[in-house]
Amino acid sequence: MKIAILSRNKSLYSTRRLVEAGKARGHEVHVLDVLRSYMNIASHKPEIHYKGEQLEDFDAVIPRIGASVTFYGTAVVRQFEMMGVYSLNESVAISRSRDKLRSLQLLSRKGIGLPVTGFAHSPDDIQDLLKMVGGPPVVIKLLEGTQGIGVVLAETQKAAESVIEAFLGLKTHILVQEYIKEAGGADIRCFVVGERVVASMQRQAPEGEFRSNLHRGGSASTIRITPEERSTAVRAARIMGLNVAGVDILRSNHGPVVMEVNSSPGLEGIEQATGKDVAGMIYHFIEKHAKPGKTRTRGQG
């Protein structure tokens, strides 16, 4: 198969592993910088060009689109879909998962366990907003934050009010969530491919930190997840419409709660923690499902 990996950086671990695993399985793999791709929005023959040449005859595309280029990146994925190329994660699903508020609302509607969450732009009563989520300590997040950036733990009422006022002064949208103290600064990353969790790891925040992101110095170790956690992760990915997803779960006193569903989960932490060939499993899924024109939305969404 001829497969395109949409990635801005060939040297990233996840991109290198996907190239390596694809070639090992006999595929022709090309890495394309999504921002250097340009499109002809034609009625009957949509085209994508790259470095002066028209891209043709691709069987599948693997989007590895960073949060900062979501708008343009999903437009390129949508163009591939319009050309009948199979996309591992479809453009609509990527957009859905990248919108934190939209994804939480969709998960809530389907009964997925979530932390109590408030959403605001310029509330008339900050005290009522805090009361709504159970009061401090609370986690306050910028809606556009990634990798733990723009996330603050406010342990007192005064601190929470000050942080919210500061964020609102930036004219930005914020999420205010209950703090799951019993999780102890740890979360579980479930790596979903298709209808199953193929690997899982626990990420532990360093001393004095509550964010467990590996980019912020967190450590990863293998963990055995419960059937309920497994089911929650698979359902969350399905609700987002993602074939491949990293579902982040906290263990709370009232069962597993989903923090985020990531459409471009990194491979380095999960492969090193578990020793599993996750990249190979992704290709196994593509080989089984990639057929011309099989994209469900065909770029409609």
pLDDT of residue 211: 57
pLDDT of residue 26: 95
Structure confidence at residue 299 as a pLDDT band (50, 70, 90): very low
Report pTM: 0.86
Q: How many domains does the chain have?
A: 3
Residue 290 domain-assigned? no
The 3-class SS string of the chain reads CEEEEECCCCCCHHHHHHHHHHHHCCCEEEEECHHHEEEECCCCCCEEEECCEECCCCCEEEECCCHHHHHHHHHHHHHHHHCCCEECCCHHHHHHHHCHHHHHHHHHHCCCCCCCEEEECCCCCHHHHHHHCCCCCEEEEECCCCCCCCEEEECCHHHHHHHHHHHHHCCCCEEEEECCHHHCCEEEEEEEECCEEEEEEEEECCCCCCCCCHHHCCEEEECCCCHHHHHHHHHHHHHHCCCEEEEEEEEECCEEEEEEEECCCCCHHHHHHHCCCHHHHHHHHHHHHCCCCCCCCCCCC
pLDDT of residue 298: 46
Same domain, 63 and 100: no
Residue 40 domain-assigned? yes
Average pLDDT over residues 222-242: 95
CATH number, residue 18:
3.40.50.20
Residue 134: domain span: 117-179
Cis peptide bond N-terminal to 137, omega within 30: yes
Same domain, 78 and 158: no
Structure confidence at residue 8 as a pLDDT band (50, 70, 90): very high
Residue 275 domain-assigned? yes
pLDDT of residue 145: 53
Question: What tens digit of pLDDT does each residue of 100-126 get?
Answer: 889 999 999 999 999 999 987 776 778
Same domain, 71 and 135: no
- 233 pLDDT higher than 90: yes
Same domain, 65 and 148: no
pLDDT of residue 199: 95
Structure confidence at residue 301 as a pLDDT band (50, 70, 90): very low
Structure confidence at residue 210 as a pLDDT band (50, 70, 90): low
Same domain, 222 and 274: yes
Nearest alpha-carbon partner for 64 in 268, 289, 277, 271: 268
Residue 79 domain-assigned? yes
CB 175 within 8 Å of CB 118: yes
Same domain, 129 and 41: no
Same domain, 125 and 175: yes
Q: How far apart are CA 278 and CA 21, in angstroms?
A: 9
Question: What tens digit of pLDDT does each residue of 27-49 get?
Answer: 999 999 999 999 998 778 889 99
Residues 6+ apart with CB under 8 A from 239: 106, 107, 110, 112
Same domain, 216 and 261: yes
Q: How far apart are CA 51 and CA 28, in angstroms?
A: 19
CATH number, residue 207:
3.30.470.20
Residue 244 domain-assigned? yes
Residue 293 domain-assigned? no
Mean pLDDT of the chain: 88
Same domain, 70 and 218: no
Structure confidence at residue 14 as a pLDDT band (50, 70, 90): very high
